[in-house]
Amino acid sequence: MEQIKIRTEAIVTILRRTDPESRTALQFRNPLQILVATILSAQCTDAKVNEITPDLFAAYPTAGAFAAADPADLEERIHPTGFFRQKTRSIIGAAQKIVRDFGGEVPDSMADLITLPGVARKTANIVLSSGYGKAEGIAVDTHVKRLAVRLGLSSETNPDKIEQDLLRIVPRDAWLDLNYLLVNHGRQICQARNPRCTECPLQALCPSADPRP
């Protein structure tokens, strides 16, 4: 366990050095906006979400506005992100609970966030880290899941189990930005189909690296 902790700390150090401005690509101004944007980002690119959210947030500036939204109007606005009916139900349901149980403010704890419709640990972790600067866990999305396995940080396939593995070995002060570091690295270097191992600053630390020039 101690060896993998040391290797993990070295990975974090390198990624922070190579990508010091790492943060979510989703554009937002407050916790409500990052919550909605994260819900919309499921099975959709961040770029596409960012295309529609300026008009969306102008039309629905508060949790109360989303709670009272006409589902047909919201579906039309978020249609380009895919799965728009389910996302509409999640957004309206979450907003209604926020208004009813949390005074119209997005809660700032994991325990409360995961009670919202459409919000599991991944979304809650992103809201906490990006919206509140709090780390209660590590968001495990597609990129983090892939890189955690490739880097030998977890052998699990379930995101919740991967998160628990990461929490045991990642320094606490890295919980806040690890998701963004791994996501950016996964997009730029450690891509799903064609990882650019020979260009990777983590090559010497990665058990899955291809050593060929």
Tokens linked to 95: 């907003």
CA distances from 71 to 31, 57, 75, 128 (A): 22, 15, 6, 27
pLDDT value of residue 22 = 81
* DSSP string computed for 126-187: HIIIIIH---SS----HHHHHHHHHTTS----SHHHHHHHHHHHS-GGGHHHHHHHHHHHHH
The residue annotated as part of the active site, out of 87, 97, 122, 145, is: 122
Rounded to the nearest angstrom, the gap between the alpha carbon of residue 156 and the centroid of all alpha carbons in its chain is 18
Position 211 pLDDT exceeds 80: no
Q: Express each pLDDT in 91-139 by its tens digit.
A: 999 999 999 999 999 999 999 999 999 999 999 999 999 999 999 999 9
Q: Express each pLDDT in 74-86 by its tens digit.
A: 999 999 999 999 9
- In eight-state DSSP terms, residue 25 is S
Between the CA atoms of 31, 32, 34 and 38, what dihedral angle is there, to the nearest 10 degrees?
A: 130
> Residue holding tokens 């407050």?
30
- To the query of whether residue 122 is one of the catalytic residues in this protein, the response is yes
Rounded to the nearest angstrom, the gap between the alpha carbon of residue 29 and the centroid of all alpha carbons in its chain is 16
In this prediction, residues 205-210 reach a mean pLDDT of 91
- For residue 212, name the pLDDT band (cuts at 50, 70, 90): low
> Cβ neighbours of residue 206 under 8 Å, at least 6 residues apart?
150, 151, 152, 197, 200
Domains defined along the chain, listed by start? 2-23+138-205 (1.10.1670.10), 31-132 (1.10.340.30)
pLDDT value of residue 117 = 96
- For residue 198, name the pLDDT band (cuts at 50, 70, 90): very high
The residue annotated as part of the active site, out of 141, 145, 161, 173, is: 141
pLDDT value of residue 210 = 76
Q: Express each pLDDT in 20-59 by its tens digit.
A: 888 888 999 999 999 999 999 999 999 999 999 999 999 9
Q: Express each pLDDT in 154-193 by its tens digit.
A: 999 999 999 999 999 999 999 999 999 999 999 999 999 9
In this structure, the number of other CB atoms found within 10 A of the CB of residue 91 comes to 26
- For residue 147, name the pLDDT band (cuts at 50, 70, 90): very high
pLDDT value of residue 91 = 98
Go through 46-71 and write b for each residue having 16 or more CB atoms within 10 A of its CB, e for each that does not: beebbebbeebbeebebbeebbebee
Position 213 pLDDT exceeds 50: no
- To the query of whether residue 48 is one of the catalytic residues in this protein, the response is no
pLDDT value of residue 184 = 94
